[in-house]
Amino acid sequence: MVERGGPRRRRRRRHQPHPAGTRTGPRHPAHRVSGPRHRAHPPPPPRRPRTPRRTPPADRLGGVRGSPGPLRGRDPGPLPRHPRRPPPPLLHLRLDRRPQGRDLYPGQTRRRRADAGRNLRRPPGRHALVCMPMFHGHAVIADWAPALAAGAGVALRRRFSASGFLTDVRRYGATYFTYVGRAVQYLLATPARPDDRDNPLRLGFGTEAGAVDAAAFQRRFGVRLVEGYGSSEGGAAVRWTPGTPANAVGRAAPSDDLAVVDPATGAECPPAALDASGRLLNGSAAIGELVNRGPNPFEGYWRNPEAESARRRDGWYWTGDLFYRDPDGFLYFAGRADDRLRVDSENLAAATIENILARYEGAVAVAVYAVPDPVAGDQVMATLAGTFDPSAFSAFLAAQPDLGTKMAPRFVRVVHRMPVTATNKIHRAALRQEGFRCPDPVWWRPPGEQAYRSLTGDDVTGLLARYRERGREELLSR
Protein backbone atom coordinates (compact mmCIF):
# COMPACT_ATOMS: atom_id res chain seq x y z
CA MET A 1 0.00 0.00 0.00
CA VAL A 2 1.37 3.40 -1.01
CA GLU A 3 0.53 6.47 1.06
CA ARG A 4 -1.59 8.88 -0.84
CA GLY A 5 0.47 11.76 -2.15
CA GLY A 6 3.61 10.34 -0.53
CA PRO A 7 5.82 10.01 -3.62
CA ARG A 8 4.82 13.46 -4.86
CA ARG A 9 5.68 15.07 -1.54
CA ARG A 10 9.02 13.30 -1.45
CA ARG A 11 9.79 14.46 -4.97
CA ARG A 12 9.11 18.09 -4.09
CA ARG A 13 11.06 17.80 -0.85
CA ARG A 14 14.04 16.39 -2.69
CA HIS A 15 14.36 19.54 -4.84
CA GLN A 16 14.03 21.97 -1.94
CA PRO A 17 17.29 23.67 -0.95
CA HIS A 18 18.91 22.54 2.29
CA PRO A 19 19.90 25.03 4.97
CA ALA A 20 23.52 26.08 4.82
CA GLY A 21 25.89 23.93 6.79
CA THR A 22 23.59 20.90 6.96
CA ARG A 23 24.42 17.44 5.69
CA THR A 24 21.92 15.55 3.61
CA GLY A 25 23.20 12.09 4.43
CA PRO A 26 26.17 10.04 5.60
CA ARG A 27 29.42 10.73 3.82
CA HIS A 28 31.28 7.86 2.22
CA PRO A 29 35.00 7.89 1.40
CA ALA A 30 34.07 7.79 -2.28
CA HIS A 31 33.11 11.48 -2.01
CA ARG A 32 36.77 12.24 -1.41
CA VAL A 33 38.33 10.20 -4.19
CA SER A 34 41.44 11.88 -5.57
CA GLY A 35 41.12 13.81 -8.79
CA PRO A 36 38.87 16.45 -10.33
CA ARG A 37 35.42 16.66 -8.79
CA HIS A 38 33.60 16.23 -12.10
CA ARG A 39 35.56 13.08 -12.95
CA ALA A 40 36.46 11.34 -9.70
CA HIS A 41 33.06 10.49 -8.27
CA PRO A 42 31.93 6.90 -8.90
CA PRO A 43 28.52 6.52 -10.53
CA PRO A 44 25.73 6.78 -7.94
CA PRO A 45 23.95 3.57 -6.97
CA PRO A 46 20.64 2.98 -8.71
CA ARG A 47 17.62 4.27 -6.81
CA ARG A 48 14.89 1.94 -5.71
CA PRO A 49 11.61 2.44 -7.53
CA ARG A 50 9.26 4.71 -5.63
CA THR A 51 6.13 2.91 -6.85
CA PRO A 52 5.52 -0.84 -6.65
CA ARG A 53 6.01 -2.74 -9.89
CA ARG A 54 3.70 -5.39 -11.17
CA THR A 55 4.83 -8.86 -10.20
CA PRO A 56 5.60 -11.04 -13.26
CA PRO A 57 3.70 -14.29 -13.67
CA ALA A 58 4.91 -17.21 -11.60
CA ASP A 59 6.08 -19.14 -14.66
CA ARG A 60 8.42 -16.31 -15.58
CA LEU A 61 9.89 -16.31 -12.07
CA GLY A 62 10.97 -19.94 -12.43
CA GLY A 63 9.23 -20.94 -9.22
CA VAL A 64 11.36 -18.86 -6.86
CA ARG A 65 8.27 -18.04 -4.80
CA GLY A 66 7.55 -21.70 -4.21
CA SER A 67 9.51 -24.88 -4.74
CA PRO A 68 12.64 -24.77 -6.92
CA GLY A 69 11.18 -27.41 -9.20
CA PRO A 70 10.90 -25.28 -12.37
CA LEU A 71 14.58 -24.29 -11.99
CA ARG A 72 15.93 -27.81 -11.54
CA GLY A 73 17.76 -29.02 -14.62
CA ARG A 74 17.68 -25.70 -16.44
CA ASP A 75 20.78 -24.18 -17.98
CA PRO A 76 21.01 -20.53 -16.90
CA GLY A 77 23.13 -19.77 -19.96
CA PRO A 78 26.19 -17.54 -20.16
CA LEU A 79 26.28 -14.35 -18.17
CA PRO A 80 26.15 -11.34 -20.50
CA ARG A 81 29.41 -9.46 -20.63
CA HIS A 82 29.96 -5.79 -21.22
CA PRO A 83 33.64 -5.33 -22.19
CA ARG A 84 33.27 -1.57 -22.45
CA ARG A 85 31.59 -1.16 -19.10
CA PRO A 86 34.16 -1.19 -16.27
CA PRO A 87 33.16 -2.44 -12.83
CA PRO A 88 32.64 -0.03 -9.94
CA PRO A 89 35.96 1.15 -8.49
CA LEU A 90 37.20 -0.29 -5.21
CA LEU A 91 38.40 2.37 -2.82
CA HIS A 92 42.03 2.33 -1.79
CA LEU A 93 42.21 4.22 1.51
CA ARG A 94 45.33 6.18 2.35
CA LEU A 95 45.58 7.72 5.80
CA ASP A 96 47.58 10.73 4.63
CA ARG A 97 45.63 11.67 1.51
CA ARG A 98 42.27 11.28 -0.21
CA PRO A 99 41.06 7.79 -1.08
CA GLN A 100 41.77 6.56 -4.57
CA GLY A 101 39.44 4.48 -6.69
CA ARG A 102 41.06 1.30 -8.00
CA ASP A 103 39.81 -0.70 -10.94
CA LEU A 104 38.95 -4.26 -9.88
CA TYR A 105 38.01 -6.34 -12.89
CA PRO A 106 36.44 -9.81 -12.62
CA GLY A 107 39.60 -11.50 -13.87
CA GLN A 108 41.63 -9.95 -11.07
CA THR A 109 38.99 -10.95 -8.53
CA ARG A 110 39.21 -14.56 -9.68
CA ARG A 111 42.99 -14.55 -9.42
CA ARG A 112 42.97 -13.03 -5.95
CA ARG A 113 40.23 -15.42 -4.85
CA ALA A 114 42.29 -18.42 -5.94
CA ASP A 115 45.43 -17.02 -4.32
CA ALA A 116 43.60 -16.49 -1.03
CA GLY A 117 42.33 -20.05 -1.07
CA ARG A 118 45.80 -21.44 -1.68
CA ASN A 119 47.33 -19.25 1.02
CA LEU A 120 44.85 -20.41 3.65
CA ARG A 121 45.19 -24.06 2.58
CA ARG A 122 41.66 -24.81 3.81
CA PRO A 123 38.20 -23.57 2.88
CA PRO A 124 36.47 -21.08 5.18
CA GLY A 125 33.93 -23.73 6.21
CA ARG A 126 30.26 -23.13 6.81
CA HIS A 127 30.36 -19.38 7.24
CA ALA A 128 32.87 -16.55 7.06
CA LEU A 129 32.47 -13.55 9.34
CA VAL A 130 33.20 -10.20 7.69
CA CYS A 131 34.16 -7.71 10.41
CA MET A 132 35.55 -5.03 8.11
CA PRO A 133 33.56 -2.69 5.82
CA MET A 134 32.90 -3.99 2.33
CA PHE A 135 34.32 -0.90 0.63
CA HIS A 136 37.77 -2.08 1.74
CA GLY A 137 39.65 -4.50 -0.47
CA HIS A 138 40.58 -6.81 2.40
CA ALA A 139 36.94 -7.69 3.11
CA VAL A 140 36.21 -8.32 -0.57
CA ILE A 141 39.33 -10.24 -1.59
CA ALA A 142 40.37 -12.03 1.62
CA ASP A 143 36.92 -12.84 3.04
CA TRP A 144 34.05 -12.64 0.57
CA ALA A 145 35.94 -14.03 -2.45
CA PRO A 146 37.34 -17.17 -0.71
CA ALA A 147 33.90 -17.84 0.78
CA LEU A 148 32.41 -17.58 -2.70
CA ALA A 149 34.98 -20.02 -4.06
CA ALA A 150 34.33 -22.51 -1.24
CA GLY A 151 30.54 -22.21 -1.40
CA ALA A 152 30.39 -20.91 2.16
CA GLY A 153 28.01 -18.39 3.65
CA VAL A 154 29.06 -14.87 4.59
CA ALA A 155 27.88 -13.07 7.74
CA LEU A 156 28.04 -9.28 7.66
CA ARG A 157 28.04 -6.81 10.50
CA ARG A 158 27.20 -3.13 10.17
CA ARG A 159 30.35 -2.16 12.07
CA PHE A 160 33.06 -3.88 14.06
CA SER A 161 32.23 -4.63 17.70
CA ALA A 162 34.76 -6.23 20.00
CA SER A 163 32.17 -7.03 22.67
CA GLY A 164 29.81 -8.65 20.15
CA PHE A 165 32.45 -10.61 18.24
CA LEU A 166 32.03 -13.99 19.95
CA THR A 167 28.26 -13.61 19.96
CA ASP A 168 28.28 -13.20 16.18
CA VAL A 169 30.71 -16.09 15.74
CA ARG A 170 28.48 -18.47 17.68
CA ARG A 171 25.24 -17.18 16.18
CA TYR A 172 26.36 -17.73 12.59
CA GLY A 173 28.66 -20.70 13.17
CA ALA A 174 31.60 -18.80 11.66
CA THR A 175 34.74 -20.85 11.18
CA TYR A 176 36.84 -18.15 9.49
CA PHE A 177 37.27 -14.39 9.86
CA THR A 178 39.57 -11.65 8.66
CA TYR A 179 40.90 -8.55 10.35
CA VAL A 180 42.99 -5.49 9.62
CA GLY A 181 44.59 -2.89 11.80
CA ARG A 182 44.24 -3.27 15.55
CA ALA A 183 41.04 -5.29 15.70
CA VAL A 184 42.84 -8.18 17.44
CA GLN A 185 44.07 -5.86 20.19
CA TYR A 186 40.54 -4.68 20.87
CA LEU A 187 39.32 -8.28 21.05
CA LEU A 188 42.03 -9.09 23.58
CA ALA A 189 41.07 -6.02 25.62
CA THR A 190 37.58 -7.39 26.31
CA PRO A 191 37.13 -9.14 29.69
CA ALA A 192 38.18 -12.78 29.54
CA ARG A 193 35.49 -15.42 30.12
CA PRO A 194 35.77 -19.13 30.91
CA ASP A 195 34.00 -20.07 27.66
CA ASP A 196 36.14 -18.00 25.29
CA ARG A 197 37.51 -21.16 23.66
CA ASP A 198 34.01 -22.52 23.13
CA ASN A 199 33.61 -21.22 19.58
CA PRO A 200 33.55 -22.74 16.06
CA LEU A 201 36.39 -20.59 14.71
CA ARG A 202 39.25 -22.46 13.06
CA LEU A 203 41.32 -19.74 11.43
CA GLY A 204 41.81 -15.98 11.24
CA PHE A 205 43.66 -14.16 8.48
CA GLY A 206 44.79 -10.55 8.44
CA THR A 207 47.55 -8.01 8.88
CA GLU A 208 49.25 -5.98 11.60
CA ALA A 209 48.30 -8.12 14.57
CA GLY A 210 51.90 -8.78 15.59
CA ALA A 211 53.48 -11.93 16.97
CA VAL A 212 52.71 -11.06 20.61
CA ASP A 213 48.99 -10.50 20.08
CA ALA A 214 48.67 -13.46 17.72
CA ALA A 215 50.08 -15.79 20.38
CA ALA A 216 47.81 -14.28 23.05
CA PHE A 217 44.78 -14.66 20.77
CA GLN A 218 45.53 -18.35 20.19
CA ARG A 219 46.00 -19.01 23.90
CA ARG A 220 42.73 -17.34 24.83
CA PHE A 221 40.39 -18.28 21.97
CA GLY A 222 42.13 -21.39 20.60
CA VAL A 223 42.27 -19.89 17.09
CA ARG A 224 45.40 -19.63 14.97
CA LEU A 225 46.01 -16.32 13.21
CA VAL A 226 47.83 -16.27 9.88
CA GLU A 227 49.48 -13.01 8.87
CA GLY A 228 50.04 -12.05 5.26
CA TYR A 229 50.84 -9.09 3.10
CA GLY A 230 49.23 -7.98 -0.13
CA SER A 231 48.85 -4.51 -1.55
CA SER A 232 45.28 -3.45 -2.18
CA GLU A 233 46.15 -2.78 -5.81
CA GLY A 234 47.25 -6.39 -6.32
CA GLY A 235 50.80 -5.43 -7.28
CA ALA A 236 52.69 -7.54 -4.72
CA ALA A 237 52.05 -10.37 -2.29
CA VAL A 238 54.06 -12.02 0.49
CA ARG A 239 53.00 -15.50 1.59
CA TRP A 240 53.33 -17.08 4.99
CA THR A 241 54.85 -20.56 4.86
CA PRO A 242 55.68 -23.11 7.56
CA GLY A 243 58.94 -22.20 9.22
CA THR A 244 58.44 -18.45 8.89
CA PRO A 245 60.14 -16.62 11.80
CA ALA A 246 57.86 -15.11 14.42
CA ASN A 247 58.25 -11.47 13.35
CA ALA A 248 58.52 -12.10 9.60
CA VAL A 249 55.65 -11.84 7.12
CA GLY A 250 56.85 -14.59 4.79
CA ARG A 251 58.46 -15.00 1.40
CA ALA A 252 57.57 -13.57 -1.98
CA ALA A 253 54.88 -15.36 -3.95
CA PRO A 254 56.30 -17.59 -6.73
CA SER A 255 54.89 -15.31 -9.42
CA ASP A 256 56.44 -12.13 -7.97
CA ASP A 257 59.98 -10.84 -8.28
CA LEU A 258 60.10 -8.83 -5.07
CA ALA A 259 63.07 -6.79 -3.96
CA VAL A 260 63.84 -4.31 -1.19
CA VAL A 261 65.43 -1.27 -2.81
CA ASP A 262 66.60 2.20 -1.88
CA PRO A 263 63.86 4.53 -3.21
CA ALA A 264 66.42 7.25 -3.97
CA THR A 265 68.87 5.18 -6.02
CA GLY A 266 66.87 2.07 -6.98
CA ALA A 267 69.71 -0.16 -5.77
CA GLU A 268 68.80 -3.33 -3.89
CA CYS A 269 69.38 -3.12 -0.15
CA PRO A 270 71.74 -5.61 1.53
CA PRO A 271 70.32 -8.41 3.68
CA ALA A 272 69.45 -7.58 7.26
CA ALA A 273 71.90 -8.41 10.02
CA LEU A 274 70.08 -9.75 13.08
CA ASP A 275 71.56 -10.61 16.45
CA ALA A 276 70.54 -13.57 18.62
CA SER A 277 67.52 -11.69 20.02
CA GLY A 278 66.28 -10.67 16.56
CA ARG A 279 67.36 -7.03 16.79
CA LEU A 280 68.13 -5.36 13.46
CA LEU A 281 71.73 -4.16 13.43
CA ASN A 282 71.98 -2.46 10.03
CA GLY A 283 68.63 -0.71 9.66
CA SER A 284 70.11 2.28 7.83
CA ALA A 285 71.21 0.05 4.95
CA ALA A 286 68.74 -2.85 5.08
CA ILE A 287 65.40 -0.99 5.24
CA GLY A 288 63.99 0.01 1.86
CA GLU A 289 60.83 0.10 -0.21
CA LEU A 290 59.34 -3.16 -1.46
CA VAL A 291 59.01 -3.30 -5.26
CA ASN A 292 57.80 -5.91 -7.71
CA ARG A 293 60.14 -6.14 -10.69
CA GLY A 294 58.06 -8.74 -12.52
CA PRO A 295 54.61 -8.73 -14.12
CA ASN A 296 51.74 -8.01 -11.75
CA PRO A 297 47.94 -7.71 -11.99
CA PHE A 298 47.78 -4.03 -11.03
CA GLU A 299 45.29 -2.50 -13.48
CA GLY A 300 45.51 1.13 -12.49
CA TYR A 301 43.59 3.72 -10.51
CA TRP A 302 40.20 4.96 -11.55
CA ARG A 303 40.68 8.18 -13.53
CA ASN A 304 43.86 9.08 -11.67
CA PRO A 305 46.85 8.81 -14.02
CA GLU A 306 49.11 10.76 -11.65
CA ALA A 307 48.72 8.22 -8.84
CA GLU A 308 49.08 5.37 -11.31
CA SER A 309 52.36 6.73 -12.66
CA ALA A 310 53.67 7.04 -9.09
CA ARG A 311 53.00 3.34 -8.55
CA ARG A 312 54.57 2.32 -11.87
CA ARG A 313 58.06 3.71 -12.22
CA ASP A 314 60.91 2.38 -14.31
CA GLY A 315 58.87 -0.69 -15.18
CA TRP A 316 58.47 -1.69 -11.51
CA TYR A 317 55.52 -1.62 -9.15
CA TRP A 318 56.34 0.41 -6.02
CA THR A 319 54.30 -0.63 -2.97
CA GLY A 320 54.99 2.40 -0.78
CA ASP A 321 55.79 0.05 2.14
CA LEU A 322 59.09 -0.43 3.94
CA PHE A 323 60.59 -3.90 4.41
CA TYR A 324 63.87 -5.61 5.12
CA ARG A 325 64.95 -9.12 4.11
CA ASP A 326 67.03 -11.59 6.11
CA PRO A 327 69.68 -13.84 4.52
CA ASP A 328 67.13 -16.68 4.19
CA GLY A 329 64.81 -14.56 2.05
CA PHE A 330 62.13 -13.89 4.68
CA LEU A 331 60.61 -10.42 4.49
CA TYR A 332 59.92 -8.25 7.55
CA PHE A 333 57.44 -5.38 7.50
CA ALA A 334 59.02 -2.13 8.70
CA GLY A 335 56.11 0.29 8.21
CA ARG A 336 54.67 2.55 5.56
CA ALA A 337 56.92 4.81 3.56
CA ASP A 338 55.43 7.74 5.45
CA ASP A 339 56.27 6.02 8.77
CA ARG A 340 60.02 6.07 8.18
CA LEU A 341 61.94 7.31 11.21
CA ARG A 342 65.45 8.68 10.97
CA VAL A 343 67.01 9.24 14.39
CA ASP A 344 70.63 10.38 14.64
CA SER A 345 71.25 9.43 10.97
CA GLU A 346 69.88 5.91 11.51
CA ASN A 347 66.74 4.49 9.86
CA LEU A 348 64.33 2.86 12.31
CA ALA A 349 61.32 0.66 11.60
CA ALA A 350 58.16 1.85 13.31
CA ALA A 351 56.60 -1.62 13.12
CA THR A 352 59.57 -3.16 14.93
CA ILE A 353 59.29 -0.69 17.81
CA GLU A 354 55.53 -1.25 18.00
CA ASN A 355 56.02 -5.01 18.36
CA ILE A 356 58.38 -4.40 21.27
CA LEU A 357 56.14 -1.89 23.04
CA ALA A 358 53.16 -4.22 22.60
CA ARG A 359 54.73 -6.46 25.26
CA TYR A 360 54.17 -3.80 27.90
CA GLU A 361 51.62 -5.15 30.34
CA GLY A 362 49.39 -2.09 30.37
CA ALA A 363 49.27 -1.62 26.59
CA VAL A 364 46.02 -2.34 24.77
CA ALA A 365 47.11 -0.70 21.50
CA VAL A 366 50.36 0.98 20.46
CA ALA A 367 51.25 3.32 17.60
CA VAL A 368 54.78 4.55 16.87
CA TYR A 369 55.50 7.46 14.53
CA ALA A 370 57.97 10.25 13.94
CA VAL A 371 57.88 13.82 15.21
CA PRO A 372 60.46 16.35 14.02
CA ASP A 373 63.62 16.79 16.03
CA PRO A 374 64.41 20.40 17.00
CA VAL A 375 67.79 20.16 15.24
CA ALA A 376 67.62 17.53 12.47
CA GLY A 377 65.89 14.29 11.64
CA ASP A 378 63.15 12.77 13.77
CA GLN A 379 62.32 11.75 17.31
CA VAL A 380 60.33 8.67 18.29
CA MET A 381 56.86 9.26 19.67
CA ALA A 382 54.44 6.56 20.81
CA THR A 383 50.74 6.66 21.55
CA LEU A 384 49.60 4.04 24.04
CA ALA A 385 46.03 3.04 24.79
CA GLY A 386 45.69 1.49 28.23
CA THR A 387 47.28 2.09 31.61
CA PHE A 388 50.66 3.77 31.94
CA ASP A 389 53.09 3.97 34.82
CA PRO A 390 56.27 5.93 33.98
CA SER A 391 58.55 4.01 36.35
CA ALA A 392 57.27 0.61 35.23
CA PHE A 393 57.55 1.66 31.59
CA SER A 394 61.17 2.75 32.01
CA ALA A 395 62.01 -0.56 33.69
CA PHE A 396 60.22 -2.41 30.89
CA LEU A 397 62.27 -0.66 28.20
CA ALA A 398 65.53 -1.41 30.01
CA ALA A 399 64.66 -5.13 30.14
CA GLN A 400 64.01 -5.54 26.39
CA PRO A 401 67.04 -7.16 24.72
CA ASP A 402 65.95 -6.26 21.17
CA LEU A 403 65.32 -2.57 21.84
CA GLY A 404 68.04 -0.48 20.25
CA THR A 405 69.57 2.51 21.96
CA LYS A 406 67.69 4.92 19.66
CA MET A 407 64.32 3.14 19.70
CA ALA A 408 63.05 4.28 23.10
CA PRO A 409 60.26 6.84 22.63
CA ARG A 410 61.05 10.43 23.46
CA PHE A 411 57.33 11.17 23.95
CA VAL A 412 54.53 8.85 25.11
CA ARG A 413 50.94 9.94 24.62
CA VAL A 414 48.37 8.06 26.72
CA VAL A 415 44.82 7.78 25.34
CA HIS A 416 41.71 6.00 26.51
CA ARG A 417 41.02 4.65 23.01
CA MET A 418 43.22 4.70 19.93
CA PRO A 419 41.89 6.86 17.06
CA VAL A 420 41.12 4.64 14.09
CA THR A 421 39.79 4.98 10.57
CA ALA A 422 36.68 3.38 9.07
CA THR A 423 38.69 0.20 8.49
CA ASN A 424 39.95 0.01 12.10
CA LYS A 425 43.44 1.10 11.15
CA ILE A 426 45.21 3.51 13.45
CA HIS A 427 44.82 7.09 12.25
CA ARG A 428 48.53 7.86 12.18
CA ALA A 429 48.17 11.00 10.10
CA ALA A 430 46.11 12.65 12.84
CA LEU A 431 48.54 11.49 15.54
CA ARG A 432 51.54 12.85 13.62
CA GLN A 433 49.85 16.17 13.01
CA GLU A 434 48.98 16.70 16.68
CA GLY A 435 52.39 15.54 17.92
CA PHE A 436 53.04 16.32 21.56
CA ARG A 437 50.67 19.34 21.47
CA CYS A 438 47.51 17.39 22.17
CA PRO A 439 44.77 17.34 24.83
CA ASP A 440 45.81 13.91 26.17
CA PRO A 441 48.47 13.37 28.86
CA VAL A 442 52.00 13.19 27.42
CA TRP A 443 55.09 11.84 29.17
CA TRP A 444 58.59 12.53 27.91
CA ARG A 445 62.28 11.94 28.52
CA PRO A 446 64.25 15.20 28.47
CA PRO A 447 67.58 14.95 26.62
CA GLY A 448 70.16 13.09 28.67
CA GLU A 449 67.60 11.54 31.05
CA GLN A 450 66.19 8.01 31.19
CA ALA A 451 63.15 8.56 33.42
CA TYR A 452 59.81 9.75 32.06
CA ARG A 453 57.98 12.71 33.54
CA SER A 454 54.83 14.59 32.65
CA LEU A 455 55.10 17.13 29.84
CA THR A 456 54.02 20.49 31.26
CA GLY A 457 53.08 23.74 29.59
CA ASP A 458 56.50 25.21 30.41
CA ASP A 459 58.14 22.19 28.77
CA VAL A 460 56.11 22.74 25.59
CA THR A 461 57.06 26.43 25.56
CA GLY A 462 60.75 25.56 25.87
CA LEU A 463 60.53 22.95 23.11
CA LEU A 464 58.78 25.35 20.74
CA ALA A 465 61.51 27.92 21.38
CA ARG A 466 64.14 25.38 20.32
CA TYR A 467 62.21 24.58 17.15
CA ARG A 468 61.84 28.29 16.43
CA GLU A 469 65.58 28.92 16.85
CA ARG A 470 66.36 26.29 14.20
CA GLY A 471 63.58 27.33 11.85
CA ARG A 472 61.78 23.97 12.18
CA GLU A 473 58.60 25.05 13.96
CA GLU A 474 56.51 24.73 10.79
CA LEU A 475 57.39 21.03 10.61
CA LEU A 476 55.31 20.32 13.71
CA SER A 477 52.04 20.93 11.88
CA ARG A 478 52.77 18.64 8.90
pLDDT (tens digit per residue) in 25-78: 444 444 444 444 444 455 555 555 554 444 444 444 344 444 445 555 666 666
Q: What percent of the chain has pLDDT over 90?
A: 26
Give yes or no for a contact between 415 and 478, defined as CB atoms under 8 angstroms apart. Answer: no
Q: How confident is the model at residue 91 (pLDDT cuts 50, 70, 90)?
A: low
| pLDDT of 124 | 46
CA distance 193 to 216: 14
Give yes or no for a contact between 1 and 67, defined as CB atoms under 8 angstroms apart. Answer: no
Which region among 26-30, 188-192, 369-373 has the lowest average model confidence (pLDDT)? Answer: 26-30
CA distance 170 to 332: 35
Which region among 310-319, 365-374, 383-392, 453-462 has the lowest average model confidence (pLDDT)? Answer: 310-319
| pLDDT of 222 | 95
| pLDDT of 169 | 93
| pLDDT of 433 | 86
Q: pLDDT tens-digit profile of 97-118?
A: 444 555 554 555 555 555 555 4
Domain boundaries, the chain: 342-477
CATH architecture of 342-477: 2-Layer Sandwich (3.30)
Rounded to two decimals, the pTM is 0.60
| pLDDT of 77 | 66
| pLDDT of 458 | 93
Contacts of residue 107, Cβ cutoff 8 Å, sequence gap at least 6: none
CA distance 381 to 357: 12
| pLDDT of 74 | 63
Q: pLDDT tens-digit profile of 137-160?
A: 778 878 888 888 777 888 988 888
